[in-house]
Amino acid sequence: MTATTPSASRIALQNEFSQLGSRLVRFGQAMQEPSTTVSELMRLAQACGINLKLHVVSESGNGDE
């Protein structure tokens, strides 16, 4: 059994949050890029622990909305 010190677990936790932050930033950037595919968004969202659900609605040209 390996004992971990409080400072070692704190560093590991900070590293984990830092990595999550980096993945969230990349996901946010991809959301703003018009060339990003849906499959890329799904992959990036999953890497952040996000269950991305998209609903697509076509625009009508009749102006009734």
pLDDT of residue 2: 57
Tokens of 23: 């993945």
pLDDT of residue 14: 86
Interatomic CA distance for residues 16 and 18, integer angstroms = 5
Distance between start and end Cα atoms, the chain: 65
Backbone angles phi, psi at 58, to 5 degrees: -80, 150
This prediction has a pTM of 0.69
Residues 45 and 27: beta-carbon distance below 8 Å = yes
Neighbours of 27 (CB within 10 A): 20
pLDDT of residue 20: 95
Q: Report which of residues 10 and 43 the model is more confident about.
A: 43
Q: Report which of residues 59 and 40 the model is more confident about.
A: 40
